[in-house]
Amino acid sequence: MAKKAKKSTEAAVPETLAEDLPEELNEVNAVLPEEATKEPSLEEQKGEKKEKKKPVLGILAGERVITESSDDARELYNQSRFGSLAENGKVELSLLEALYLMERSRLVIKSESGNKEVSFELYVKKARKVEPNFWIRYCVFKDMRNRGYIIKTALKFGADFRVYDRGVKPGEDHAKWIVYPVHEASVFTWYEFSAKNRVAHSTKKRLLLGVVDDENDVTYYEVRWMRP
């Protein structure tokens, strides 16, 4: 069932910034990518009854998690494009990807020594030390993945994430959106807002602002250039 879009709340714009609005008009539409409503096939239903696969083993190594070299680990990359495939057959996952897989019981993460399993709470604590905005970014990452989209980092574009349309894998076509995750209480200037829009425009991608509330729910706003 598709998730209902939350009511949008207009952010108060300081009067001092109103005069600084660029000549180009921006139309901000509250959008929520539709969730997949397709009923599972008989094969998929039968697959659910099969015994669950054993979780893949991963080692926390600083700013990434490195999996074991196994067919199950490579399946994470081949089927859903989690991480990147190394020459040694292991999969290198971002901290966000690893946490998502851990939460879905598809990955067990151990410390770098390999002796101790890392709990969800400890993992998030460590990740926040590496990325202060980790949890806000994870809420958007998780939400997009749950909706059936492949979401990858977009540092080379000057954004947090790039998102591919459903059914499209990186390398098959270009990403459709770039996404900036923000908390609902976050504030940025018109200059910062315009800069994000220009990045999307210059890379020929659509801009999504993923706004995370205190309940970790995400509302998306798509921003487009409008010319009179």
Catalytic residue among 46, 125, 174, 191: 174
Catalytic residue among 123, 164, 180, 220: 164
CB 58 within 8 A of CB 110: yes
Q: What is the SS3 assignment for 100? A: helix
Q: How far is the C-alpha of 186 from the C-alpha of 17, rounded, in Å?
A: 16
CB 226 within 8 A of CB 27: yes
Q: Is 205 a catalytic residue?
A: yes
CA distances (Å), origin 49, targets 3, 40, 121: 26, 13, 30
DSSP lists the bridge partners of residue 42 as: none
Percent helix, strand and coil across the chain, each rounded to 5?
30, 30, 40
Please calculate the CA angle 190-194-195 and round it to the nearest 5 degrees.
120
**Active-site amino acid positions:** 164, 174, 205
